[in-house]
């Protein structure tokens, strides 16, 4: 009797996600019922403040609805009442693991509508800082993924690296997380004299220890493989259909990177590879992140080598008051495409600011991918998406 | 099943190596690291240099600075100049964006290296610098001078500024400019 039950269940689960739920015949026939369960918003393993409404059939998830909004701060509305430069410190608070990218995206949008010339040295410093930020985001992402699988060591090693990068940021910008460094028309101040050498030394040591601390430690581990291989599997078509970007898209094999396909700043002058993987599961996203870290190191070295001398802040005038029009800026944040749309009506304050945050847009992947997995597999899948609370709620 | 457990053993070897390495953690309250030069801590003001231009109060996005302005002949030149008789920085609102530091023409407001702002009461975090205490809970309103009357013609006055926002942004500023 039991084996028969299980067989019917499995046949129900092979149908598309939307069909699994609306299949009451299977449940009625055997008197089986699904169980509704809330996971979060306060959950020790959950990424930030996310609530998942789960429908469980035994230990298998048949429906997963993410509920967002527990950290909503009306960032877009507040931005409408502030002057253009005063919005930049707010963008730091969006995706708090990719602050530099948030600033960069907003600044690109305002520069688009303002039409200001950015000095080349400022562009190099921006890219240098953004790539450091990508390192400081990807490395803890790997650590968080392992933490969700129950391994505590990688998170300590990854936060050791993040702290070192934050110390570099503190010396350059003055703050460890809320930088307020990239400004409209350039950056706030030039790099301190000793910092390029410090960054170079740090990146060299990171490169030397990277294989040991983040690849050898994790990649061959049997528990890691059994928990991640084939989990959260996603096809290219589905990923494209859902508008997924970033490592979650590249791990399915789609070759898409804003830095190369819609180039901004000085990325066309730099050499780097877009990392893809074919498996499309959690393990593949881990491999993509690890390989992207090495590409970031490569970009940082190129920036330091090629950096020209000169001004770092272009002339924007005393008051930033763009003519009426629209500006758009998109950057490749560690989680995917981060885009900002600014509408100006000719006054000091923007008429409308809209942020397209990858954490929010990648979240709909959960509804499609999670059903059919066991309950404990949700956490590795969250590690694949790697959302940040401040990003999806704005 | 060949080699099961090899990956785990390899990982354990790496952690064992780290065990005998140099410690990277420090005991924070006893040990404090040196902050870099640009580090942004709590704000402070040098009242002798302040010329009460109110630019920091105007630019602060969080309204954490309130200044009470009077006219006083402080330097004995016989001509009364603006003088900040009350100056309060509310650290419970400050977000350390350093916009006020950049805008100050005489560099009298600056960041210190202190960052441990804690108190039992929110009002304790409001630090008074002037002779007369200022209520930090009221949002500061810079005094309205001649400027707005002139600016009203150039789409910057209060009334015409918000009104065009209701209509599509294409036409809005033109109507504002006409008014």
> Complex ipTM, two decimals?
0.73
For chain B, percent of residues with pLDDT exceeding 70: 76
C-alpha B101/C-alpha B43 separation (Å) is 9
Cα A248 to Cα A246: distance, rounded to the nearest angstrom: 5
pLDDT at residue B173 in the model: 47
Residues B98/B40, Cβ–Cβ less than 8 Å: yes
Are A220 and B6 in contact (CB < 8 Å)?
yes
Residue range B63-85, pLDDT digits in tens: 888 888 888 877 777 788 888 88
pLDDT tens readout for residues A92-123: 888 888 899 999 999 999 888 888 888 888 99
Q: Is the pLDDT of residue A153 over 60?
A: yes
pLDDT value of position B155: 46
Whether A2 shows a pLDDT value over 80: the answer reads no
pLDDT in tens, A233-289: 888 888 888 888 888 888 888 888 888 888 888 888 888 888 888 888 888 889 899
Whether B60 shows a pLDDT value over 80: the answer reads: yes
Residue contact A345–B7, C-beta within 8 A: no
pLDDT for A340? 92
Give pTM, 2 decimals. Answer: 0.82
Residues 6+ apart with CB under 8 A from A206: A135, A161, A297
Which residue of chain A is at minimal alpha-carbon distance from B171? A345
**Chain A partners of B18 at a C-beta cutoff of 8 Å?**
157
Over residues A349-371, the mean pLDDT reads: 87
Q: Closest to A173 (Cβ–Cβ): which among B14, B38, B99? A: B38
Chain A positions in Cβ-Cβ contact with residue B63 (cut-off 8 Å): none
Inter-chain CB proximity B36 and A174 less than 8 Å: yes
B125-137: per-residue pLDDT in tens? 888 888 888 877 7
Q: Look at A34-43, A81-90, A297-306 and tell me which has the smallest mean pLDDT.
A: A34-43
- Pairwise pLDDT comparison (A323 vs A172), residue with the higher score: A172
Assign a CATH topology to domain B36-130: Alpha-Beta Plaits (3.30.70)
Share of residues in chain A with pLDDT > 70 (%) = 92
- Is the Cβ pair B164, A345 closer than 8 Å? yes
In this complex, the residue of B5, B37, B155 whose CB is nearest that of residue A346 is B155
Higher pLDDT, A40 or A3: A40
What band does A62 get if pLDDT is binned at 50, 70 and 90?
Answer: confident
Smallest Cβ distance to A220: which of B7, B40, B97? Answer: B7
pLDDT (0 to 100) of residue A10: 52
Beta strands in A174-244, from DSSP E residues, in sequence order: 182-183, 186-187
Q: Which of A122, A237, A235 is nearest to A183 (CA)?
A: A122
Residue B171 has pLDDT above 70, yes or no: no
Q: Which residues, at least 6 apart from A33, have a Cβ–Cβ distance to it below 8 Å?
A: A27
User: Whole-number mean pLDDT of chain A?
Assistant: 84
Whether residue A315 is predicted with pLDDT greater than 60 in this model: the reply is yes
**A9-23, A346-360, B20-34: which range is least confident on average?**
A9-23
Mutate to test the interface with A, among B4, B16, B25, B40 (most CBs of A within 10 A): B40
**B159, burial (CB in 10 Å: exposed 0-12, middle 13-18, buried 19+):** exposed
Q: Say which DSSP state B75 is in.
A: S
Q: Is the dihedral of CA A271, A277, A282, A286 positive or negative?
A: negative
Q: Do A157 and B165 touch (CB under 8 A)?
A: no
Return the DSSP state at A56: E
CA distance A105 to A264: 10
The answer to whether A311 touches A75, Cβ cutoff 8 Å, is: no
- A340 and A328 in contact (C-beta within 8 Å)? yes
- pLDDT value of position B146: 54
Confidence of residue B142 (pLDDT cuts 50, 70, 90): low
pLDDT of residue A35: 78
Bridge partners for B71 per DSSP:
B82
Q: Which residues of B touch A (CB under 8 A)?
A: 4-8, 10-11, 14-15, 18, 24, 35-40, 59, 61, 95-99, 111, 155-156, 161, 164-165, 169-170, 172-173, 176
Residue A43 has pLDDT above 70, yes or no: yes
Q: Which residues of A touch B (CB under 8 A)?
A: 82-83, 85-86, 89-90, 153, 157, 160, 170-175, 178, 180, 189, 192, 212-213, 216-225, 324, 343-348, 351-352
- Please answer yes or no on whether A219 and B156 come within 8 Å at the CB atom: no
The confidence score (pLDDT) of residue A321 equals 84
Do A157 and B18 count as a contact with CB atoms less than 8 A apart? yes
Interchain contact, A178 vs B95, CB within 8 Å: yes
User: A37-51, B102-116, B123-137 — which one is most confidently predicted on average?
Assistant: B102-116
């Amino acid at each position: 009797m039991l084996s028969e039950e299980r067989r019917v269940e499995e046949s129900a689960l092979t149908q598309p996600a939307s069909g699994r739920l609306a299949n009451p015949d299977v449940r009625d026939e055997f008197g089986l019922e699904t169980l509704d369960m809330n996971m979060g918003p306060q959950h020790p393993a959950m990424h930030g403040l996310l609530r998942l409404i789960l429908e469980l059939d035994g230990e298998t998830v048949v429906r997963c609805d993410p509920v967002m909004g527990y950290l909503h701060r009306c960032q877009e509305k507040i931005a409408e009442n502030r002057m253009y430069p005063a919005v930049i410190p707010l963008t730091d608070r969006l995706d708090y693991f990719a602050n530099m990218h948030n600033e960069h995206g907003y600044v690109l949008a305002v520069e688009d509508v303002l039409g200001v010339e950015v000095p080349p040295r400022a562009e190099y410093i921006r890219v240098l800082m953004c790539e450091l930020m990508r390192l400081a985001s990807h490395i803890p992402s790997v650590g968080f993924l392992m933490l969700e699988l129950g391994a505590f060591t990688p998170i300590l090693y990854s936060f050791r690296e993040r702290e070192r990068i934050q110390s570099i940021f503190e010396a350059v910008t003055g703050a460890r997380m809320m930088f307020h460094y990239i400004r409209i028309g350039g950056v706030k101040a030039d790099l301190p004299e000793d910092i390029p050498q410090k960054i170079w030394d740090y990146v060299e040591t990171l490169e030397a220890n990277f294989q040991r601390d983040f690849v050898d430690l994790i990649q061959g581990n049997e528990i890691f493989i059994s928990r991640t291989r084939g989990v959260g599997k996603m096809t290219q078509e589905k990923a494209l259909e859902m508008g997924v970007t970033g490592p979650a898209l590249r791990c399915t094999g789609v070759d898409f990177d804003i830095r190369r396909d819609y180039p901004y700043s000085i990325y066309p002058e730099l050499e780097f590879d877009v990392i893809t993987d074919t498996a499309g599961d959690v393990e593949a996203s881990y491999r993509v992140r690890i390989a992207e870290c090495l590409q970031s190191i490569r970009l940082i070295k190129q920036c330091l080598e090629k950096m020209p001398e000169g001004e770092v802040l272009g002339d924007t005038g005393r008051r930033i008051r763009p003519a009426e029009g629209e500006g758009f800026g998109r950057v490749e944040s560690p989680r995917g495409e981060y885009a900002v749309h600014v509408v100006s009506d000719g006054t000091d304050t923007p008429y409308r600011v809209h942020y397209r945050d990858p954490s929010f847009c990648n979240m709909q992947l959960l509804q499609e991918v999670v059903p059919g997995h066991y309950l404990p597999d949700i956490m590795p899948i969250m590690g694949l998406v790697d959302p940040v609370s401040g990003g999806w709620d704005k | 099943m060949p080699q099961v457990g090899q990956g785990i053993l390899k990982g354990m070897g790496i952690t064992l190596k780290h065990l005998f390495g140099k410690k990277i953690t420090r005991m924070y309250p006893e040990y404090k690291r040196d902050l870099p030069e640009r580090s942004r801590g709590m704000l402070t003001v040098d009242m002798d240099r302040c010329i009460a231009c109110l630019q920091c109060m105007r630019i602060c996005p969080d309204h954490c600075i309130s200044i009470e302005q009077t006219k006083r002949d402080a330097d004995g030149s016989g001509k009364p100049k603006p003088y900040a008789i009350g100056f309060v920085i509310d650290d419970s609102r400050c977000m350390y964006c350093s916009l006020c530091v950049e805008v100050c023409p005489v560099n009298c407001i600056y960041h210190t290296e202190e960052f441990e702002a804690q108190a039992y009461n929110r009002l304790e975090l409001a630090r008074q610098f002037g002779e007369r205490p200022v209520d930090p809970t009221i949002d500061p309103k810079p005094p309205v001078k001649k400027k707005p009357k002139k600016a009203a013609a150039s789409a910057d006055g209060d009334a015409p500024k918000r009104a065009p926002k209701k209509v599509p942004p294409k036409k809005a500023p033109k109507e504002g400019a006409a008014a």
